[in-house]
Amino acid sequence: MVFDLYKAFLFDFDGTFADTAPDLIASANYIYTKYDKPSISYEEGRAIASDGTKAFLNLRFDISQDNLEVITLEFLDYYRKNLLQKTVLFDGIYSLIDLLIKEKIKWGVATNKPREFTEKILSHYGLLNKIDILLCGDDGYPTKPAPDMLLKACQTLALDPPDIAYIGDAKRDIVAANSAKMISILACYGYLKKEDNIESWGAQRIIHSPNELSALI
């Protein structure tokens, strides 16, 4: 069996598990328009979609002049109401989860994304009641690239780090996985930037589709 070396698979969320960029970009452009800022293209927004709300706001607002606290709340409120407009799971994720469940391989998500939004998307796709562990950016642990969430996952699942594969699309994901001594897998189908030097990140494996996770060995 291909999964013999892995007892659990953990995923980053935005850009790895779910394609959330369209709704994040729409939320950003709503805020930009409200404050008379230039909109961004899909390509520009996709490149920073893994980096969270702050990355979108920093692109158009000045922390020394704009009330980013209020603008952040407005962004999140709009996103909260619209996060299921175009968000989908990446091709191959759903069948992969079915296979992991069938083979009794634990799976979960460890993400810097707030729990409220992550749970809503997982619930929409019928996966919230199937997940073995979910750790989010507002759960009280230092966020990635710190390894704390991943180490907490090991503790909760009662597994050693080398028995777990962590899949993510950003440098912070690979750094966190390597620091936790998990198997680090870079999802190149995610939200990489043109200037990313992925060869320097130290990923132990690289995939270009979730389907490749069923043929790692």
Cβ atoms 210, 92 nearer than 8 A: yes
Confidence of residue 4 (pLDDT cuts 50, 70, 90): low
Superfamily of domain 8-19+89-215: HAD superfamily/HAD-like (3.40.50.1000)
- pLDDT surpasses 50 at 70: yes
How many whole angstroms separate alpha carbon 71 and alpha carbon 31?
8
Which pLDDT belongs to residue 216? 59
Tell me, what amino acid is at 108? Answer: G
Average pLDDT over residues 190-208: 96
Which pLDDT belongs to residue 1? 43
Q: Where are the domains of the chain?
A: 8-19+89-215, 21-82
Catalytically active residues, by annotation? 12, 14
What are the pLDDT digits (tens) for 26-66? Answer: 999 999 999 999 999 999 999 999 999 999 999 999 988 89
- pLDDT surpasses 50 at 16: yes
What six digits make up the tokens of 81? Answer: 């109401």
Residue 125: CB atoms within 10 Å: 17
DSSP result, 10-48: EE-SBTTTEE-HHHHHHHHHHHHHHTT-----HHHHHHT
- pLDDT surpasses 90 at 3: no
Which pLDDT belongs to residue 5? 76
What percent of the chain is predicted at pLDDT more than 90? 93
The residue with tokens 């634990």 is 106
146 CA to centre of own chain: 15
Cβ atoms 213, 167 nearer than 8 A: yes
33 backbone φψ class: left, alpha, beta (φ>0; ψ -120 to 50): alpha
Residue 217: CB atoms within 10 Å: 9
What are the pLDDT digits (tens) for 124-171? Answer: 999 999 999 999 999 999 999 999 999 999 999 999 999 999 999 999
Rounded to two decimals, the pTM is 0.94
Cβ atoms 173, 180 nearer than 8 A: no
